[in-house]
């Protein structure tokens, strides 16, 4: 490449000896020298004849190469020709008697530089030794050599960064190997250089490898390679021609496919398993092309629908779908071909014998690359299931109707019973008042006319009438709470409990009663009905603590998995949990009347009120260790 140079000015170089002017054009005038001149002028190389570093002659190629006229350089120093930075190297070269070609940079008359190669020889003349230097322009060669070096460096960097093994070989003899190749085969680079395929592959592949080298094959092929430790590995080879160090050779890329081969073997095994699985599955499995042609159906599909493989060769999927389902299934089929999947699809198939099969399953697209090439479906025969569901639905409808009728009947009966209970209870009050009144008259005015037995009988009648009156009042109250409308408001249960309990304490002033009430317990409910609940629970607690020297009654709030529950506890007689089922039933008593009086209606009334509010009530107790009643009001 031609370029300008910033050449430093040279000092004038003087030879140690003056040059005889007869040396200039030393070959002129002699026939033998004329032939030499013609030869020197015919060569492409620039020839410079110099004596004691002074130019004494040049040929025509010199004038073309350096741009000087011949007369313009005669008598000049040879140091006008090389670049100044190369002069010290060139002087050492001259001292060494021109023992080999020397590359330097020449400077033309116009100051541009070029790459050149110099070789000098001594030429005897008239007992003098003249030096002739042959100069060859190697600009193109240097440029090519540089580009080749850069190309080889790029190839080296690329090959070293590759994870694939890379070789360059010349007729099968390795001349270059990358790090990945060393790792793959277990050899060092120096060991691989000079090796042949015979040393890296099993014998049965030698001929194949040399055939591919000979035919310049560029398609990939597989062989079994041999690791340095003797183990075998599967590799894939792909080769092509390459120019390396100025010669045409071949580069091969080698990929380790050992794991791939193992995976392929496992895949083939799995495919066989899946094929057997599909063939033996009870589900109906099918694969259909975008044109609707059957690509695959399993044995269960054929057995269930009654078709043969030969039948399906001339049919499409829509030939086996019930006419009423074709439109719906066609829409689904089109969507699947666009890449959509469907689950829990119901399809009605037509069997070969014209019977109907209802199937349910999933349908998905099958891809090759980005293109849908088929649909895949797995169905399950749900015909019997559908029939069973229809029967169950019909039975449920019939059962619901029967339950509705029965509920209506029970509601009417309950209403009649409640009305009857209320009417009877209300009508019994008058006769009971008369009986109680006459008993009082007899005891007050005629007691002297009765003996002790008569008085006892009269007293029993009086007490029984009072008990019956209490029972009737309880029945009336139970009937009322069952029919009363519920009007919910916010209730301070703590205040309500404390007020009712204190009223009871006044009526039992002769007893030691201790109350523990948690403050600020609120709930939404009917204030009148909830007060009946509180009254009954307090009355119950006072009754069953009557035999204790000191009664302790607590009211509070308990938080748990059930939510927030209010509780009323006492330290009274308690109860046997084995009798729990009778606790909230009307007219049921867990203690004899001789121990504790009562009608057995109170807790039944409490349960009815709590349930009408949508809540729950339950209790825990232990004999002689008290009882706790819990209730929730949503």
The DSSP secondary structure of 233-290, one letter per residue, reads EEEEEEEEEEEETTEEEEEEEEEE-HHHHHHHHHHHHHHHHHHHHHHH-SSEEEEE-T
Query: Which phi and psi (to 5°) does residue 455 adopt?
Result: -65, -40
Q: In this predicted structure, what is the pLDDT of residue 7?
A: 44
What pLDDT, in 10s, does the model give residues 506-558?
888 888 999 999 999 999 998 988 988 998 899 889 888 888 889 999 999 99
Q: In this predicted structure, what is the pLDDT of residue 296?
A: 87
How far is it, in rounded angstroms, from Cα 60 to Cα 112?
A: 19
H or E stretch at 2: none
Asked if domains 285-381 and 484-631 share a fold, the reply is no
Q: pTM for the complete prediction?
A: 0.36
How far is it, in rounded angstroms, from Cα 449 to Cα 369?
A: 119
How far is it, in rounded angstroms, from Cα 168 to Cα 245?
A: 11
For 278, the token pair is 């599909």
Q: In this predicted structure, what is the pLDDT of residue 271?
A: 60
Q: In this predicted structure, what is the pLDDT of residue 14?
A: 35
How far is it, in rounded angstroms, from Cα 321 to Cα 476?
A: 70
Q: In this predicted structure, what is the pLDDT of residue 467?
A: 65
What pLDDT, in 10s, does the model give residues 294-312?
988 988 999 999 999 899 9
- Residue 130 scores a pLDDT above 80: yes
How far is it, in rounded angstroms, from Cα 220 to Cα 253?
A: 9
Which of 43-52, 96-105, 411-420 has the weakest average pLDDT?
A: 411-420
Give the mean pLDDT of the chain.
Answer: 83
Q: In this predicted structure, what is the pLDDT of residue 608?
A: 87
Rounded percentage of the chain residues whose pLDDT exceeds 90:
33
Q: In this predicted structure, what is the pLDDT of residue 123?
A: 79
Q: In this predicted structure, what is the pLDDT of residue 341?
A: 93
Domain 3-137 bears CATH identifier 3.40.718.10: no
For residues 274-280, average pLDDT: 75
**CATH level 2 (architecture), domain 285-381:** 2-Layer Sandwich (3.30)
H or E stretch at 536: helix 527-544
Which fold would CATH assign to domain 484-631? Heat Shock Protein 90 (3.30.565)
Under a CB-based contact definition with an 8 Å cutoff, are residues 227 and 233 in contact? yes
Q: What class, spelled out in words, does domain 144-261 have in CATH?
A: alpha beta
Q: Where are the domains of the chain?
A: 3-137, 144-261, 285-381, 387-468, 484-631
Rounded percentage of the chain residues whose pLDDT exceeds 70:
84
- Residue 27 scores a pLDDT above 50: no
**More confident: 22 or 40:** 40
At residue 65, the 3 state secondary structure works out as helix
Q: In this predicted structure, what is the pLDDT of residue 302?
A: 92
* Highest-confidence segment of 328-337, 381-390, 482-491, 556-565: 328-337
**More confident: 337 or 198:** 337
**More confident: 574 or 448:** 574
Q: How confident is residue 425, by pLDDT bands cut at 50, 70 and 90?
A: low
């Amino acid at each position: 490449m031609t370029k300008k140079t910033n050449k430093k000015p040279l000092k004038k170089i003087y030879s140690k000896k003056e040059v005889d002017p007869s040396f200039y054009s030393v070959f002129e005038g002699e026939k033998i020298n004329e032939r030499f001149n013609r030869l020197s002028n015919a060569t492409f190389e620039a020839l410079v004849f110099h004596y004691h570093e002074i130019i004494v002659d040049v040929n025509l190629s010199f004038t073309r190469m350096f741009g000087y006229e011949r007369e313009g350089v005669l008598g000049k120093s040879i140091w006008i020709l090389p670049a100044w930075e190369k002069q010290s190297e060139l002087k050492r070269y001259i001292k060494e008697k021109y023992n080999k070609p020397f590359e330097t940079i020449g400077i033309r008359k116009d100051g541009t530089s070029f790459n050149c190669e110099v070789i000098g020889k001594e030429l005897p003349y008239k007992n003098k030794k003249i030096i002739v230097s042959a100069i060859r322009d190697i600009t193109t060669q240097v440029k090519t050599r540089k580009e080749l070096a850069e190309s080889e460096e790029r190839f080296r960097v690329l090959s070293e960064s590759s994870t694939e093994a890379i070789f360059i070989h010349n007729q099968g003899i390795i001349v270059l190997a990358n790090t990945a190749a060393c790792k793959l085969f277990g050899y060092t680079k120096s060991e691989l250089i000079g090796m042949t395929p015979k040393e890296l592959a099993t014998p049965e592949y030698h001929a194949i490898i040399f055939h591919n080298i000979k035919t310049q094959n560029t398609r990939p092929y597989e062989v079994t390679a041999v690791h340095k430790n003797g183990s075998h590995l599967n590799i894939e080879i792909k080769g092509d021609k390459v120019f390396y160090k100025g010669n045409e050779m071949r580069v091969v890329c080698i990929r380790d496919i050992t794991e791939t081969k193992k995976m392929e073997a496992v895949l083939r095994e799995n495919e066989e398993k899946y094929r057997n699985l599909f063939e033996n599955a009870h589900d109906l499995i099918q694969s259909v092309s975008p044109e609707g042609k059957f690509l695959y159906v399993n044995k269960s599909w054929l057995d269930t629908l009654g078709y043969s493989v030969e039948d399906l060769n001339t049919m499409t999927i829509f030939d086996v779908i019930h006419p009423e389902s074709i439109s719906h299934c066609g829409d689904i089929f089109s969507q699947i071909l666009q890449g959509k999947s469907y689950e829990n699809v119901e399809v009605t198939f037509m069997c070969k014998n014209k019977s109907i099969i209802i199937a349910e399953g999933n349908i998905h697209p099958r891809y090759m690359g980005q293109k849908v090439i088929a649909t895949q479906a797995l169905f399950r025969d749900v015909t019997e299931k559908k029939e069973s569901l229809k029967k169950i639905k019909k039975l449920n409808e019939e059962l619901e109707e029967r339950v509705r009728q029965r509920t209506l009947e029970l509601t009417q009966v309950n209403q009649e019973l409640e009305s009857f209970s209320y009417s009877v209870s209300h009508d019994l009050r008058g006769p009971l008042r008369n009986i109680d009144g006459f008993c009082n008259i007899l005891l007050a005015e005629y007691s002297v006319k009765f003996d002790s037995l008569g008085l006892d009988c009269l007293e029993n009648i009086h007490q029984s009438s009072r008990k019956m009156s209490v029972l009737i009042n309880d029945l009336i109250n139970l009937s009322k709470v069952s029919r009363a409308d519920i009007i919910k408001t916010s209730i301070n249960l703590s205040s309500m409990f404390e007020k009712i309990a204190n009223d009871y304490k006044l009526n039992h002033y002769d007893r030691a009663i201790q109350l523990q009430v948690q403050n600020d317990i609120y709930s939404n409910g009917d204030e009148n009905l909830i007060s009946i609940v509180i009254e009954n629970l307090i009355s119950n607690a006072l009754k069953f603590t009557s035999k204790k020297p000191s009664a302790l009654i607590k009211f509070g709030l308990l938080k748990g998995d059930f939510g927030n529950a209010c509780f009323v506890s006492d330290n009274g007689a308690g109860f046997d949990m084995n009798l729990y089922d009778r606790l909230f039933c009307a007219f049921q008593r867990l203690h004899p009347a001789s121990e504790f009086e009562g009608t057995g209606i109170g807790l039944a009334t409490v349960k009815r009120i709590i349930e009408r509010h949508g809540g729950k009530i339950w209790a825990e107790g232990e004999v002689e260790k008290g009882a706790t009643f819990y209730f929730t009001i949503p």
